[in-house]
Amino acid sequence: MTVRAVIDRFEGEYAVLETEGGMTEIHRAHLPGAAREGDIVYYSCGGWSVDREETEKLRRKNSERLNRLFSGGEMND
């Protein structure tokens, strides 16, 4: 089974993850050392991995949305 999550924030030694089922916390040591807020991560085969490609796509999409919002454009995707 594969679980997809977005790292919402870090609180001390814990990472707060947003999943389809809601928010959950895991110990930061279980994530790859380079993981950061906003990264898309997957849990599979007993470990977590960062999906850099999907993370960058999400960051670009969010950046474009913010640009449209602040320029008075539509927010529809």
The pLDDT profile of the chain, 77 residues, written as one tens digit per residue, is 899 999 999 999 999 999 999 999 999 999 999 999 999 999 999 999 999 999 999 999 999 999 988 887 665 65
The Cα–Cα gap between 51 and 54 comes to 6
pTM, full prediction: 0.82
- Decide: helix, strand or coil at residue 58: helix
Q: Nearest-CA neighbor of 25 among 35, 36, 40, 14?
A: 14
Pairing, β 3-11 against β 40-44: antiparallel
What pLDDT score does 1 carry?
81
Q: Which domains does the chain have, with CATH numbers?
A: 3-51 (2.40.50)
